[in-house]
Structure 1
């Protein structure tokens, strides 16, 4: 037995059927949908014609659904409900009120500078599925470049990196973070030429490049004896007397034993940027989160 041809039904016709079944009169049904009674009647007649089954019968001055139409009504209710769900989903996608955003940030952004902005955005957009990955800047940008992340908040690469390694990524400046020098408690350095040795971020780190350039410009040597991606670990290395460090103020000067700055002025500044891949179709959910991060 071959399958019958599918009737060419419209969601509007099925919506008319659902409304007519739920209303005492067709006038009430039409008013609930914002159409005229004649438009509703014509739509229902066309639905009957396309199905090839009579759905309604006269009962005095009223028209009521026939018992044989119960299966058609159940189908109509399912289709209308699922189509409404689809419409809500599409609206959320268009407006950024729903969807999935894979966000990558460095720890300073996620824990300190934009933690409140991220929390507030999640509260304001409860339909958003936000997936957060915290990692070093270079790792985040690699993931962004291959499509594993949608949005990144990281240390902006140096001009050399921007021109040779990161084609296809757009950067928007978010904020600038000063970096200060901190010495072990037992240090007796008298001039910047006596500063060091250093505990610092790993080789290849964007922040380490900024620190190295700042120290060289100030006339201080930059000999690294230990490395870590975690500023809190570097802070503890300084407390243990393993070396000096250049760090943001928040991780260095918090806790029960805050470090003291070797001088009041920062050694360098790192630019924190929001990064996206170039040339992609606009995604409202990604754009809304980017705006929240940039606004702080």
Structure 2
């Protein structure tokens, strides 16, 4: 009978896994080596040793290039997790030792950074000026990818339909979404609403909107897309289509938009997400309190 506990585990180093990630993310070994600050030969030696210790051939030649084999994907996923968690541990240790310093990489959707929590982010930065707060504003899908890959520490985004494995989620704000129509085109019958301008396919907010309109029997013919709600609001003003937006972002621009109904079409939930395996240092705990509007 095969005994897992008696089988020696491969002795892999964090450096070797860093080499693997760099090789996967760059078109050439030279570019990967430059990013790591090592020579191409040192990178190649490290990858060769990694293959030996794993017991699998991870790369293959295709013309002038060396590319990852399909069987290397699981090793690559493992490398991403280990590197991300090692960075988390490093940041946590540094911040715990310093108390009120260190680095936090925060990702938010624009509604959070510009409207709902702009003051709180500013106040956090004032209260802990030695903390190096790196803010990234992007759509929810991109933020979650960066969080999962270890490029961000914590994310404030629209709640996804399914929480990915390895991530934890906590609702911190519920935001009503209202229907806006071009001037003179207010129609009560949902079957006659549209056409629509909306967030791109794959957007979490678009999924909320689509399901809510479908429940009312309304069609959802999208004729224009933008990641920026302010752009969608301007499209409505120009008469290019209808839109479903948070009220804060419908009030940007020269003229405020007025919803066709006082009741919202839907409620989207904004959540704080982080890697479940990552310890929260004291500075990040303080940031979370600011984002949740808890007295610090």
Q: How far is the alpha carbon of 1:281 from its aligned partner?
A: 2.9
Where does residue 148 of structure 2 map in the other structure? 145
Where does residue 131 of structure 1 map in the other structure? 134
Question: Given the alignment, which residue of 263, 276, 279 partners 2:261?
Answer: 263
Query: CA offsets, 1:183-223, max 9 Å, x none?
Result: 01131524111111100000000000011111111222111
Query: CA offsets, 1:10-39, max 9 Å, x none?
Result: xxxxxxxxxxxxxxxxxxxxxxxxxxxxxx
Question: Given the alignment, which residue of 274, 279, 293 partners 1:295?
Answer: 293
* Superposition misfits of 4+ residues, deviation over 3 angstroms: none
Where does residue 110 of structure 2 map in the other structure? 107
Q: How far is the alpha carbon of 1:174 from its aligned partner?
A: 0.6
- Alpha-carbon distance in structure 1 between the residues aligned to 2:287 and 2:186: 47
TM-score (norm 1): 0.65
Structure 2, unaligned runs of 5 or more: 1-92
- Alpha-carbon distance in structure 2 between the residues aligned to 1:102 and 1:280: 13
1:155-234 → structure 2 map (5 Å cutoff)? 155-158=158-161, 161-162=162-163, 166-187=164-185, 189-234=187-232
Question: Given the alignment, which residue of 236, 239, 249 partners 2:237?
Answer: 239
Is the 1:95–1:284 contact (alpha carbons within 8 Å) kept by the matching residues of 2?
no
Q: How far is the alpha carbon of 1:249 from its aligned partner?
A: 0.2
Structure-2 change in CA distance of 1:189 and 1:92 (3 Å): closer
- Alpha-carbon distance in structure 2 between the residues aligned to 1:214 and 1:95: 48
Classify the secondary structure of the residue corresponding to 1:270: strand
TM-score (norm 2): 0.65
Is the 2:182–2:242 contact (alpha carbons within 8 Å) kept by the matching residues of 1?
yes
Structure 1, unaligned runs of 5 or more: 1-89
Structure-2 change in CA distance of 1:117 and 1:287 (3 Å): same
Where does residue 278 of structure 1 map in the other structure? 276
Classify the secondary structure of the residue corresponding to 1:295: coil
- Alpha-carbon distance in structure 2 between the residues aligned to 1:147 and 1:229: 23
- Alpha-carbon distance in structure 1 between the residues aligned to 2:170 and 2:97: 23
Q: How far is the alpha carbon of 1:257 from its aligned partner?
A: 1.1
Is the 2:171–2:269 contact (alpha carbons within 8 Å) kept by the matching residues of 1?
yes
Q: How far is the alpha carbon of 1:240 from its aligned partner?
A: 1.0
- Alpha-carbon distance in structure 2 between the residues aligned to 1:99 and 1:91: 6
